[in-house]
Amino acid sequence: MVDVWLPYGRTDVCVRIPARNLLGSIEPKDRAGAADQKAEVERALKEPINSKRLVEIAKPESKVAIVVDDATRKAPSERMLMPVLAELNAAGVKDENVTVIFGCGTHRPATTQEAAEILGEEALKRVKVVSHNASAPDLVNIGTTKTYGNKVMVNRIFVEADVRILLGDVNYHYYAGYGGGRKSVLPAVCGADTIQRNHAMLVNPNAHTGNLENNPVHIDMTEAARLAKVDFIVNVVENKKSEIVKAFAGDLEAAFLEAVKLYDEMYLVTVDRRAEVIVVSAGGHPSDINLYQAYKGLDNALDAVKRGGVIILVAECLEGHGNQVFYDWMTKLPDVKAAEKEVRHRFVMGGHKALYLMKALQNHQIILVSSMPDFYAQSIFKLKTARAVNDALTEAFKLAGSSARVWAMPQGSYTLPIYKAPEETKA
């Protein structure tokens, strides 16, 4: 037997896997954070990619708009913002001419407490702060995306600024491929109809985690950000401890793509065979605080398990399902086809998780190990359940056979395994 420890809430649980069945453990290649986080952002600002320095772009009289993530994201906005403000001040820009916009997309506005947590008390005292409203009556039409004909309605403050800056972190995203870069325009500061039209394309097979090639959601987002005439971005890649490993600054697309490369180096893992069973932890708290969040770990594991195989999702789900739209769609929509139709015509954030779970259930048997009541897990979300991970593994062997091969994946939300068949040996 091989003992594999898996994060579960704020603790760990041990799964005992027979050595003859275990293929191995799929884990990210974590890196140490920069010794001085602020200095790393300052370095990036001094060495912009395909761009002039911000101190050269901004003029003393410039009105500046800076988009940061809202409370639904965990980007280190304060650690990026303070060096950016210093750079703007060095160009002669006064703090009173700087507006920070929380890129809320269709989410609710940031509360006063959230604003302080995201930006820090010092920044709040120095600059104006607003939350984007996707239904605001004064959004500005800046044009239509070339490839998909999406009319791009954008926050007026952002459009009317002389210098437009985006701050964010790069990570994996279900249908945009990656977070960061252009996402700080669409959806962050766009109108509800623009966001709806963009997100409805998530049903396209190329709109998936870790993919930018021919991804319509990404392409449309990029074209919208170009129309918005973004002047400068700062994106960071963090490790599992939320420490900045490296910062990337400069051109909208070039800096973002460099950050994507590093993110893949750390979190993308190639596997040369698919297992019949995969035991995946969402990564513990807060990644498994509810099923809505924990699903990311399951979704990331899909390419490492065979069609028809068994996925054991280890996630505490202390707060239950975590999203009412997710719950409602699972109860009212009978199948994938109905969910895809709903996405195209009436997309609401949360509904996409129902669509993805339905798709996963089409091709795999899923056993949830959690504190969630069986009624919800089984009746609403159509999952098999087990109270302990070793009970789940016993059930998985009954379903897949006693000789089934097993992958373990302790950090599911932070790891993306990609299957690549081993090259045939040349004769």
Q: Class of 2-27+270-419 per CATH?
A: alpha beta
pLDDT surpassing 80 at residue 242: yes
pLDDT (tens digit, 9 = 90+) per residue, 85-114? 999 999 999 999 999 999 998 888 888 899
Task: Tell me the torsion sign for CA atoms 383, 388, 389, 390.
Answer: negative
What is the pLDDT at residue 202?
Answer: 92
Residue 43 pLDDT class (50, 70, 90 cuts): very high
For residues 305 and 30, the answer to whether their CB atoms sit within 8 Å is: no
* CATH 3.90.226.30 residue window(s) in the chain: 2-27+270-419
Q: Determine the average pLDDT of the residues in 37-64.
A: 97
Residue 216 per-residue DSSP state: H
3-state secondary structure of 37: helix
**Higher pLDDT, residue 240 or 388:** 388
* CATH 3.40.50.11440 residue window(s) in the chain: 37-238
pLDDT (tens digit, 9 = 90+) per residue, 359-395? 999 999 999 999 999 999 999 999 999 999 999 999 9
For residues 61 and 98, the answer to whether their CB atoms sit within 8 Å is: no
Closest CA to 364 of 316, 284, 421, 301: 301
pLDDT surpassing 90 at residue 272: yes
Residue 249 pLDDT class (50, 70, 90 cuts): very high
Closest CA to 382 of 366, 370, 371, 400: 366
Q: Class of 37-238 per CATH?
A: alpha beta
For residues 75 and 69, the answer to whether their CB atoms sit within 8 Å is: yes
CA distance linking residue 203 with residue 220, whole number of Å: 14
